[in-house]
Amino acid sequence: MKTENSMTRRKALKGLGASMATIAVGSSLAGTAGKYTGSTDNPILENPLNKHPKPPYKKQIQPHPGLASKMDPVPDHGEKSYKGSGRLKGRKALITGGDSGIGRAAAIAYAREGADVAINYLPAEEEDAKQVIALIRDAGRKAVAIPGDITSDDFCKKLVEDAVSQLGGLDILVNNAGYQKSNLSIMDISDESFDATMKTNIYAPFWITRAALPHLPPGSSIIATTSVQAYDPSENLFDYAQTKAANVAYVKSLAKQLGPKGIRVNGVSPGPVWTPLQVCGGQEQDKLIEFGGDTPLGRAGQPAELASIFVQLADNSGSYSTGQIYGAAGGGGHP
């Protein structure tokens, strides 16, 4: 009888313990629902309003094409902040305009994610380009510098040939280089300036893509840098805005054409981003002072803030994204 009572009490206590444990776990889960559950109780949050310099910026002008290293403040391309995790290990990328601005941010990110990178730039941008090449090599990746003017069809062919030869292949193409000249009236746009805008922003991506396609295997990614100007053009960027709208059509049409070949085509649509494009005639000086100040975040973006988008669009994990335009405009824009 005593043995039976002892067994009964043990079962009861065991059942009660299990019930209490269930209640405790349930309470714990209920208390953490919707909260950060990472490795720390105090996650590091960055307020985007104060993360980077806000206007007013200093008036400054440089001769075209401009150097990031001469800007005040110097843009943040992720030189110190971008941390890679091997997402693009073994990949091979060609980036036009890779010496500064958004192209430089993409080049740094790609290298730190494990890709070998070739950058194109104008000879006048050699100072900035040397810094990028050093950063790519510091990441332990192959760096290829190919200076030259992409407004030439012949050079665009050579650019691709050199990139493929020196990288040992190609599977990421970033058509990023752009030309932007502010003019308050259509009457102020010279034929020479209009031609430079069209050839840099429309002709060059066409020429480079056509030359690159025979080398791009299934799984490759093509990325174009478009702009909010494609959707909400400024009155002083009449010709530039037209080219950015053409870049959106380039993405959407080419994605349909190349989808069956297993090649994805996407675009990144920046808003006001602090790059040399703005200080070498891309903005009027009076507008430069408050550049980006009219966005909900109240400031211009930094190239580093777009780098992760370029990585995602190149990464295999983004395999169902094609024909898409990804926006980064501080609260403005339409994509």
Written in H, E and C, the secondary structure of 240-309 is: HHHHHHHHHHHHHHHHHHHHHHCCEEEEEEECCECCHHHHHHHCCHHHHHCCCCCCCCCCCECHHHHHHH
Transcribe 15-58 into DSSP letters: HHHHHHHHHHHHHHHHHHTTS--SS-SS-----TTTSS--SPPP
Q: Indicate the average pLDDT of the chain.
A: 89
- What's the confidence (pLDDT) of residue 126? 97
Q: Classify 149 as helix, strand or coil.
A: coil
Transcribe 85-139 into DSSP letters: -STTTT-EEEEETTTSHHHHHHHHHHHHTT-EEEEEE-GGGHHHHHHHHHHHHHT
**Residue 270: beta bridge partners?**
328
- What's the confidence (pLDDT) of residue 40? 52
Res. 86: pLDDT tops 50: yes
Pick the CATH number of 93-328 from 3.40.50.720, 3.10.105.10, 1.10.1060.10, 3.30.365.10: 3.40.50.720
Over residues 230-244, the mean pLDDT reads: 96
- Higher pLDDT, residue 165 or 287: 165
pLDDT digits (tens, 9 = 90+) for 88-98: 999 999 999 99
pLDDT digits (tens, 9 = 90+) for 42-75: 778 999 999 999 999 999 999 999 999 999 999 9
> Taking the model in full, what pTM does it have?
0.86
Q: Which of 240, 250, 320, 326 is catalytic?
A: 240
- What's the confidence (pLDDT) of residue 181? 95
CB-based burial label for 86 (10 Å; 0-12, 13-18, 19+): exposed
Compute the distance between CA of residue 108 and CA of residue 250 in angstroms, rounded to an integer: 26
Which of these, 243, 230, 253, 238, lies nearest to 326 by C-alpha position?
230
Residue 334 binned pLDDT confidence (cut-offs 50, 70, 90): confident
Which of these, 303, 259, 257, 284, lies nearest to 106 by C-alpha position?
303
Compute the distance between CA of residue 137 and CA of residue 139 in angstroms, rounded to an integer: 5
Q: Classify 146 as helix, strand or coil.
A: strand
Residue 138 binned pLDDT confidence (cut-offs 50, 70, 90): very high
Q: Are 262 and 219 in contact (CB under 8 A)?
A: yes
Phi, psi of 121 (to 5 degrees): -165, 165
CA dihedral 199, 119, 324, 252 (to 10 degrees): 30
- Higher pLDDT, residue 39 or 332: 332
Active site residue 203: no
Amino acid at residue number 181? K
pLDDT digits (tens, 9 = 90+) for 172-230: 999 999 999 999 999 999 999 999 999 999 999 999 999 999 999 999 999 999 999 99
Q: Are 180 and 233 in contact (CB under 8 A)?
A: no
User: End-to-end alpha-carbon separation of the chain, Å?
Assistant: 78
* CB-side neighbour CA atoms (13 Å) of 16: 6
- What's the confidence (pLDDT) of residue 335? 78
Compute the distance between CA of residue 85 and CA of residue 45 in angstroms, rounded to an integer: 20
- What's the confidence (pLDDT) of residue 41? 66
- Where do the domains of the chain lie? 93-328
- What's the confidence (pLDDT) of residue 286? 86
Q: Are 82 and 110 in contact (CB under 8 A)?
A: no
Res. 33: pLDDT tops 50: no
Q: Are 133 and 149 in contact (CB under 8 A)?
A: no
- What's the confidence (pLDDT) of residue 25? 37
Amino acid at residue number 71? M
Contacts of 167 (CB under 8 A, 6+ apart): 92, 93, 94, 116, 118, 142, 144
